[in-house]
């Protein structure tokens, strides 16, 4: 009976990626699926001064690092939280601060470099017979697709309906519009069209799994803190509103797959049912180095036999 492990929204965290690769052995899983948003949130400059120390900035605080070991320890902390530590001169830092386009180019370079490093760890950390499906999310630029496509150990799920033997997997990282205008978002009608094009007319709902980064609207898996017009969080995050996709919900209700996997809204961890479909968002705690995921036992004839949210 195949066992699938699913996680999502690791946002550049080295620790979470290593745990994800280790999940197959730890949970005795037969397939790994990553649901999107591999990209970290920002560059953290490491600027060396003439006296030999290095200055780093993280979460609004400045750190003076007096030794190479202290600098490396700080860089490791930065990477574990999903940021990209980049060594640069003071002049380079000023240049990036004054030139958003140059900063964006360097940021995308850091994304690609980090992902290439991550993929180089696969052969040592994941048995060769374990399929690995990765689908970029709305926060992932096109550079992510390019790097994934160049790795023989990874199946890039974006826009594909993959036959994985006992079941099929339909994946996309596209989402409905967000206040942050990310890389992969579009109107609800366009998103619905995208989803329909991916699903074959002959789809067998009993053996199909959806891997759509955006959760369905008003499912309880899409509740996010309400924002003001200036994008500040209202009521200290105690007031929440559904922000998922109506198109995703419509497709789930119509096609009724065996299982529907989602992410995107980190704080909306949970499970629900939409008609016959089990719908899951394992949530994300990547900044704490905690990998949240879901484990699913799938019987070739009897369907989904068990499911549980796990954390490690």
Residues of each domain in the chain carrying CATH 3.60.21.10: 3-40+115-311
- At 81-115, the pLDDT tens digits run 889 999 999 999 999 999 999 999 999 999 999 99
- At residue 1, the pLDDT reads 66
Ranked by mean pLDDT, the top range of 18-22, 75-79, 303-307 is: 18-22
For 18-30, b/e burial (b = at least 16 CB within 10 A) is bbbbebbeebebb
Q: Please report, in angstroms and rounded to a whole number, the separation of the first and last CA atoms in the chain.
A: 23
Contact 33, 4 (CB under 8 A): yes
- At residue 80, the pLDDT reads 84
Provide the residue count of the chain.
Answer: 312
The listed CATH number (3.30.465.10, 2.40.240.20, 1.10.10.10, 3.60.21.10) that belongs to domain 3-40+115-311: 3.60.21.10
Confidence of residue 237 (pLDDT cuts 50, 70, 90): low
Place of tokens 């199946």: 155
Name the more confident of 61 and 127. 127
Residue 311 has pLDDT above 90, yes or no: yes
- At residue 8, the pLDDT reads 98
- Rounded Cα distance between 11 and 41, Å, is 7
Name the more confident of 239 and 217. 217
**Averaged over 26-31, what is the pLDDT?**
97
Residue 238 has pLDDT above 90, yes or no: no
pTM: 0.95
- 261: three-class secondary structure by DSSP: strand
Residues whose CB falls within 8 Å of the CB of residue 35, separated by 6 or more in sequence, listed in order: 6, 7, 8, 9, 135, 137, 171, 173, 211, 213, 261, 262, 263
**Averaged over 195-203, what is the pLDDT?**
96
């Amino acid at each position: 009976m195949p066992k699938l492990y699913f996680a999502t929204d690791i946002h550049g965290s080295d620790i979470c990626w290593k745990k994800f690769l280790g999940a197959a052995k730890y949970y005795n899983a037969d397939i790994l699926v990553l649901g999107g948003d591999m990209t970290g949130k920002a560059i953290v400059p490491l600027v060396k001064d003439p006296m030999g120390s290095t200055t780093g900035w993280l979460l609004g605080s400045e750190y003076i690092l007096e030794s190479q070991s202290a600098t490396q320890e700080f860089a490791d902390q930065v990477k574990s939280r999903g940021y990209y530590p980049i060594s640069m001169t003071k002049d380079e830092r000023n240049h990036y601060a004054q030139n958003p386009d140059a900063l964006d180019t360097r940021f995308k370079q850091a994304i690609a470099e980090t992902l290439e490093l991550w993929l180089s760890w696969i052969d040592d950390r994941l048995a060769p017979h374990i399929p690995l499906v990765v689908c970029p999310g709305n926060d992932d630029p096109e550079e992510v697709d390019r790097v994934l496509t160049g790795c023989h150990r990874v199946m890039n799920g974006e826009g594909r309906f993959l036959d994985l033997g006992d079941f099929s997997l339909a994946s996309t990282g596209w989402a409905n519009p967000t206040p942050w205008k990310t890389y992969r978002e579009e109107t609800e009608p366009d998103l619905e069209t995208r989803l329909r094009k991916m699903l074959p007319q002959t789809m067998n709902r009993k053996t199909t799994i959806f891997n759509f980064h955006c959760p369905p609207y008003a499912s309880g898996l899409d509740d996010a803190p309400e924002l003001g017009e200036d994008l500040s969080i209202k009521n200290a995050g105690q007031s929440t509103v559904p922000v998922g996709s109506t198109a995703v919900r419509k497709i789930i209700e119509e096609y009724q797959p065996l299982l529907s996997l989602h992410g995107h809204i980190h704080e909306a961890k949970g499970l629900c049912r939409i008609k016959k479909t089990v719908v899951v968002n394992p949530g994300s705690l990547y900044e704490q180095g905690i990998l949240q995921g879901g484990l699913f036992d799938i019987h070739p004839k009897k369907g989904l036999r068990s499911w549980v949210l796990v954390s490690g």
